[in-house]
């Protein structure tokens, strides 16, 4: 797969994850929605990584902060810290005990706030990917 097709793959996959997150949120599947939000940002970061690097395979990691660090991405400190929270939806979200705790503490309001924050980052990353073309 050439670089442009590879980038397009990550962008399309990110859009699918975003749609899944919204769908799951409507069904009150909180932990799965948060997981899909993580996937959205991970896939966009990998698309951007491909745009900015000479390699054709993004790093095999799910750690959003690590992806930012590898690209030396100029991201605000608040957004960088937020990525740590988003990371927890992926890593710890795979373990049943944590998933139950997350589900119990997550409300419609909390999930809406997280979706709004992720959407802002999503749009910012999409713009960066377009600018790099």
What pTM was computed for the model?
Answer: 0.92
CATH number belonging to domain 3-131: 1.20.120.330
pLDDT at residue 94 in the model: 62
Band of the pLDDT at 51, cuts 50, 70, 90? Answer: very high
Q: How confident is the model at residue 54 (pLDDT cuts 50, 70, 90)?
A: confident
User: Could you give the CA distance from residue 72 to residue 82 in angstroms, rounded to a whole number?
Assistant: 17
Q: What is the DSSP string of 116-128?
A: HHHHHHHHHHHHH
59: left (phi over 0), alpha (psi -120 to 50) or beta: beta
In tens, the pLDDT along 93-111 reads 566 676 677 767 788 999 9
Q: Where are the domains of the chain?
A: 3-131
């Amino acid at each position: 797969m050439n670089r442009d097709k590879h980038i397009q793959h990550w962008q399309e996959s990110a859009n699918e994850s975003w749609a899944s997150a919204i769908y799951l949120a409507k069904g009150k599947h909180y932990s799965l929605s948060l997981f899909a939000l993580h996937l959205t940002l991970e896939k966009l970061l990998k698309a951007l990584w491909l745009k900015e690097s000479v390699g054709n395979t993004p790093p095999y990691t799910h750690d959003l902060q690590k992806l930012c660090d590898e690209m030396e991405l100029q991201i605000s400190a608040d957004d960088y810290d937020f990525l740590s929270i988003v990371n927890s939806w992926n890593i710890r979200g795979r373990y049943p005990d944590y998933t139950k705790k997350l589900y119990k503490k997550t409300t419609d309001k909390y999930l809406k706030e997280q979706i709004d924050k992720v959407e802002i980052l999503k749009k910012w990353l999409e713009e960066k990917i377009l600018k790099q073309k």
